[in-house]
Amino acid sequence: MIEKLQALEDKYEELTKLISDPAVIADQSEWKKHVKAHAELEDVVSVFREYKKANSDLEEARQMLKEQIDDDFREMVEAEEEELEEKIQELKKRLTILLLPKDPNDEKNVIVEIRAGTGGDEAGLFAGDLFKMYSRYAEKKNWRMEVLEAHYTDLGGFKEVIFIIEGKGAYSKLKYESGVHRVQRVPDTEASGRVHTSAATVAVLPEAEEVEVEINPNDIRIDVFCSSGPGGQSVNTTQSAVRITHIPTGIVVSCQDEKSQIKNKEKGMRVLRSRLLEKYQEEQQGELASARKTMVGTGDRSERIRTYNFPQGRVTDHRIGLTLHKLDWILQGELDEIIEALSTNEQAEKLKKVE
């Protein structure tokens, strides 16, 4: 492991020089590639340097203990030796985790699709609650969110809402949210006070860059139609809504959130690229899906991953058996405790395979 870490540090030093080289800076595409690689190595190199420093300090402390020193000073050095040994073990564990294979999509923006499932109007309202939860989470992370497509219910919820979240590491945090989210509560329309169970599906896709998914213009059919939905004088009067069909796969994307046909087409193409990327990755990386299943469940939209129980004020993530009595807090976007638990579980499963 030390040899590998030293090689990474050497590479980091090489990249540090390159990104400061005027000749490299002049080629922006090359410079950006080196900057990205440099940033990816920063954490592991920083911890490795701390690890080397701790080992050097430990060796120095042990040399002191071999010398003739008074009892008080010896006691102090022995305490330092013990602290350094514990620190080295902790740093070694962190380095092992940092060296684990990373999901290549972790740093990407995400496209999130929420759809009302079983439960009628109540499912649509719950889809709205999930949308607000992710919106607040994105706001707390200082990420940018933009709605790409929305279809509303009569009561103000969503039949479907698709939005993009742009921010460093967005996919690494939100990738665990894919699946069926279930709610148990008494609907406002329920006079007898009975608890109903409804559901909404969430799909989290890494946003695909154009270079990753090349779409042949001859492979798509674009239809335009009048927008429908709440608000706006242009609704049902101008053909600003866009439906894009990818003929080889049959994937269909529609977008009508903007009044501009051009903007709707741009948004629709972003969604189409991400859905195609997901499809290609599922086909080409069966082993990744298998690994994900072992870690936190399949993440498939048909799998129930979490239950939000209003009468008891609790949220349960069924993949890792985590229950938190913080329902209101979580719906306000405080998702870090759940996400960190899922991430820790994933790391633990990966470490088992390494060991």
pLDDT band (50, 70, 90) for residue 279: confident
Q: In the prediction, which pLDDT does 238 show?
A: 59
Residue 292, pLDDT > 50, answer no
Lowest pLDDT segment from 159-163, 188-192, 195-199, 262-266: 188-192
Say how far apart CA 332 and CA 254 lie, in whole Å: 29
Amino acid identity of residue 214, one-letter, is E
pLDDT band (50, 70, 90) for residue 302: low
Residue 308 near residue 329 (C-beta atoms within 8 A): no
Residues near 293 by Cβ (< 8 Å), separated by ≥ 6? 299
| Pick from 345, 336, 291: nearest CA to 318 | 345
Say how far apart CA 127 and CA 157 lie, in whole Å: 7
What is the CATH code for 2-98?
Answer: 1.20.58
Mean pLDDT of the chain: 85
Say how far apart CA 23 and CA 16 lie, in whole Å: 14
Residue 143: Cβ-neighbour burial (10 angstroms; 0-12, 13-18, 19+): buried
Residue 172, pLDDT > 70, answer yes
Say what the pTM is.
0.67
Q: In the prediction, which pLDDT does 244 show?
A: 86
For 197-259, give the DSSP string: EEEEEEEEEEPPPTTTS---GGGEEEEEE---SSS-TTTTTS--EEEEEETTTTEEEEE-SSS
Domain residue spans of the chain: 2-98, 110-211+295-354, 222-283
Q: In the prediction, which pLDDT does 166 show?
A: 92
At 58-95, the pLDDT tens digits run 999 999 988 888 888 999 999 999 999 999 999 988 88
At 96-115, the pLDDT tens digits run 888 877 778 888 899 999 99
Residue 189, pLDDT > 90, answer no
Q: In the prediction, which pLDDT does 57 show?
A: 93
Residues near 196 by Cβ (< 8 Å), separated by ≥ 6? 119, 122, 184, 185, 186, 187, 190
What is the CATH code for 222-283?
Answer: 3.30.160.20
Interstrand relation of 241-246 and 158-166 (parallel, antiparallel or unpaired): unpaired
Q: Which fold has domain 110-211+295-354?
A: Alpha-Beta Plaits (3.30.70)
